[in-house]
Amino acid sequence: MKQHTVTDSPYGPLTLVADDGVLCGLYMAGQRHRPPQESFGPRDDSLFGEAEEQLGAYFAGELTRFRLELRLDGTPFQRSVWAGLRRIPYGETRTYGELAAELGAPTASRAVGLANGRNPIGIIVPCHRVIGAGGGLTGYGGGLDRKRRLLDLENGTPVSALF
């Protein structure tokens, strides 16, 4: 059974969704490809303490790797892309083409981009760490401003300086 909570963050409210107690969604306000609110199940603020604690530590610059059980529902290709995202180290970026090559599909950068855009657990599965071939910021379901601020956070800019 799905349940959700809404938690505050320096990037606006975040909706956390769990299925049978396992985190399966993290959505930002106004996010592209955000499922309908009614699909998140009833609100239960008691289930998400560990996720909220780790997110708080991440936003404070104290956590560089999340250690949460996740349920990533998608096609086998999407799940391989999302696993690849989790291997990109904190503070680093990859291009869509580099990620495609790492997955053994060097000509699949567009497909990687589409899978990246469907990532159901933003921030924790760091799709913000993927950039365009020329190094520019491209597409981010949470908006390019949030993507820039998340990358700045990981490169040592304090969250308070990002506003």
d(CA 27, CA 95): 23
Interatomic CA distance for residues 95 and 130, integer angstroms? 5
Nearest in space to 88 (alpha carbons), one of 156, 34, 154:
154
CA nearest neighbour of 64 among 139, 126, 137, 146: 126
Sheet strand arrangement including 14-19: 2-7, 14-19, 22-28
Dmax of the chain from CA atoms?
44
What pairs with residue 25 in β-bridges?
Answer: 17
Q: DSSP string covering 25-39, please?
A: EEEETT-TTPPPGGG
Q: Is 127 a catalytic residue?
A: yes
Catalytic member of 16, 88, 121, 127: 127
Is residue 44 a contact partner of residue 28, using CB atoms and an 8 Å limit?
no
Please give the positions annotated as active site: 127
